[in-house]
Amino acid sequence: MSLKSVLKRCAKFLVYGQPVVNKYVSVAHIDDNKLLAGKKILVTGGTSGIGLSVAKKIIAAGGEVIITGRSQDKLNNALKEIDSNNCKAIVFDIANITSIKSKFLDVVDLFDGKLDAVVSNAGIYKQKNFFDYTLDDYTRTMDTNFTGAFFLAQATIKYWLDNHIDGNLVFVSSERGIMSDVHPYGLSKVVCNSFVEGLAKQYGVNDIRVNAVAPGITATNINNINPDGNLWFDKRRIMRPEEIAEVVKFLLSDASKCVNGQIVACNEAYSVNMDC
Amino acid sequence: MKSLKILCHEKICLKIKEQLFFGGGTGIGKAITNKLLSHGSEVIICSRSKHEIEGAINEIWDVSDIGSIQENFNNIIKKYGQIDMVVNSQGILTHSDFLDVSPEEMELVFKTNIESVFFICQYAVRYFKNNSIYGHILNICSTEGLKGTCYPYGLSKAAAVRLTQGLGKATVRDGIIVNGIAPGATATDMMRQGDKHNWAPAYGIPSGRMCTANEIANAAVFLLSDAGRQMCGEVMVVDGGESLH
């Protein structure tokens, strides 16, 4: 390094107060079945629907996964369905805010002290007439869909920062979070999307990536639609959970290393506003 | 605007410190109240503590106690008759770092900034509909709610913005107008709590200064007046250009 460039850097540091950072990235070809090789990933709400599909995709791509759910029976069924040594399960109610920190440590222990990525997927869906929502409906939806995800993200990012891990956080949000809404479900997802962008901006410098998928109506048991049945409803197509899981897999992998703070809508352009 | 009764929630502040501050240290709620009073409206202020604003009626009501909203709402209608407009200007701002946010802080901020707004809107819209009143609702949101954030204040305001837009669309056919204002950094008591936030925000604002509460109140009066009847679900940004890219 010449004296001139050293002086230039010193001047830059003095003027802007920021040290000059050199960063090098190499992009290699990644085989599909090794996309998540060696990665240890937590999937909340992994007993059914999108969460279960994501867990299956992770294992098929060579990763290890821990699924969480509220009931042991459902977890056992999911474990049986996945049928792999790379899948473990733990009972974890995300709506129980005070237990999140200790449960998170249990998850890290189960993974032998290393966690690479988290898929924050657990959510409930309850739709009523706007005038019929009670305080209980509101708080249950908000606690599960957002507050739990917030404190799980807090615990996770703290762990990644302390252990200098380039973590990867993927939220399963909803297209409802992109549009205006009066229902607690939609509002919880709005908050989620804003949170994803904020986290990405704040912790991008620490090489932590935060993204979200925003699926349209998806054929899961949250809305009792059979994925093998007719997938045309109300002038639009219903998504299959495997399709959403594919996008989550991409966001989890190093193939999407340059993607950060994005809400990827998976709804065939339904939420694209063409009216104005 | 004559003889309109307006239900206005005074701003709730945590740990107010007295100090000389740009703009005179008045909350947005208070500025809107004064402006509306000067336009000849009747104003009922609902707040946690007593506020002496000449000409306005003061009711003690802690909006973060969600369970009591319906009862308080009905009592006020019984006591003062028809209500034509509701202004939600309650809000709490906290300054914890993301990694230090506690569940208690989260709950308090969300209860005051969005949960109370949701249920007050629910009761107000139902009341307007049942009584065929062409009512107005105005939610004071924030520019923090229009961008990505990982702090409870901005997150709660993000929900408030989308709720305002959603309600604006859903209720305009019934003649109920729901709008919002997204103020940028405004010189109020709430901004005064964190010392480090005192003057610094002014540097990032293209206009070179924070908004004053009166400027927000001017926008509020426009949105509440019949001049703004074709505006629905609009969240008007008043921030001196701060949120422009």
Number of domains in chain B: 1
Instruction: Print burial letters for B123-161: b (CB count within 10 Å at least 16), e (below 16).
Output: bbbebbeeeebebbbbbbbbbbbbbbbbbbbbbbbbbbb
Does the beta-carbon distance from A187 to B118 stay under 8 Å? yes
What pLDDT score was predicted for residue A132? 95
Q: Is residue B131 part of a domain?
A: yes
Q: Which stretch of DSSP H or E encloses residue A119?
A: strand A117-120
Are B185 and B191 within 8 A, CB to CB? Answer: yes
Which of A174, A195, A205 to mutate against chain B (most B CBs within 10 Å)?
A195
- Please say if the pLDDT value at position B56 is more than 50: yes
Name the amino acid, one letter, at A158. Answer: K
Digits of tens for pLDDT over chain A (276 positions)? 678 888 887 887 788 776 777 778 777 777 777 889 999 999 999 999 999 999 999 999 999 999 999 999 999 999 999 999 999 999 999 999 999 999 999 999 999 999 999 999 999 999 999 999 999 999 999 999 999 999 999 999 999 999 999 999 999 999 999 988 999 999 999 999 999 999 999 999 999 999 999 999 999 988 888 888 889 988 899 999 999 999 999 999 998 999 999 999 999 888 887 654
Residue of A nearest to B120 (CA): A131
Burial of A25 (0-12, 13-18, 19+ CB in 10 A): exposed
Distance from C-alpha of B33 to C-alpha of B8, rounded to nearest angstrom = 7
The Cα of A195 is separated from the nearest Cα of chain B by a number of Å equal to: 5
Domain that residue B116 falls in: 5-238
Report the range out of A236-250, B26-40, B84-98, B220-234 with the highest average pLDDT.
A236-250
What pLDDT score was predicted for residue B2? 45
Q: For residue A213, what are its two tokens?
A: 């998928």
Q: What angle do CA A6, A8, A9 make, to 5 degrees?
A: 65
Strand partners, A57: none
Are A219 and A245 within 8 A, CB to CB? Answer: no
Contact status of B102 with chain A (Cβ, < 8 Å): no
- How close are the terminal C-alpha atoms of chain B, in Å? 37
Q: Which domains does chain A have, with CATH numbers?
A: 30-266 (3.40.50.720)
Distance from C-alpha of B87 to C-alpha of B118, rounded to nearest angstrom = 12
Q: Is residue B109 part of a domain?
A: yes
Residue of A nearest to B97 (CA): A154
Assembly ipTM: 0.83
Are A87 and A81 within 8 A, CB to CB? Answer: no
Q: Is residue B129 part of a domain?
A: yes
Distance from C-alpha of B163 to C-alpha of B157, rounded to nearest angstrom = 10
Q: Is residue B244 part of a domain?
A: no
CATH number, domain with residue B39: 3.40.50.720
What pLDDT score was predicted for residue A243? 94
Does the beta-carbon distance from A187 to B159 stay under 8 Å? yes
pLDDT tier at B24, thresholds 50, 70, 90 = very low
The Cα of A228 is separated from the nearest Cα of chain B by a number of Å equal to: 33
Distance from C-alpha of B8 to C-alpha of B56, rounded to nearest angstrom = 10
B125 to chain A: which residues are within 8 Å by CB? 130-131
Residue of A nearest to B98 (CA): A154
A135 to chain B: which residues are within 8 Å by CB? 66-67, 115, 119
Are A52 and A221 within 8 A, CB to CB? Answer: no
Phi/psi of residue B178, each to 5°?
-115, 120
The share of chain B scoring above pLDDT 90, in percent, equals 36
Of A97-111, B76-90, B152-166, the poorest mean pLDDT is in: B76-90
Q: Is residue B147 part of a domain?
A: yes
- Strands A87-91 and A236-237, by their bridges, are unpaired
Q: Is residue B202 part of a domain?
A: yes
Specify the 3-state DSSP secondary structure of A214: strand
Q: How distant, in Å, are the alpha carbons of A114, A229, B199, B242 from that of B203?
A: 42, 58, 8, 10
Across the interface, of A158, A190, A261, the residue whose CB is closest to B162 is A190
What pLDDT score was predicted for residue B8? 57
Across the interface, of B103, B149, B156, the residue whose CB is closest to A198 is B149
Q: Is residue B245 part of a domain?
A: no
Does the beta-carbon distance from B114 to A261 stay under 8 Å? no
Q: Is residue B243 part of a domain?
A: no
Residue of A nearest to B156 (CA): A191
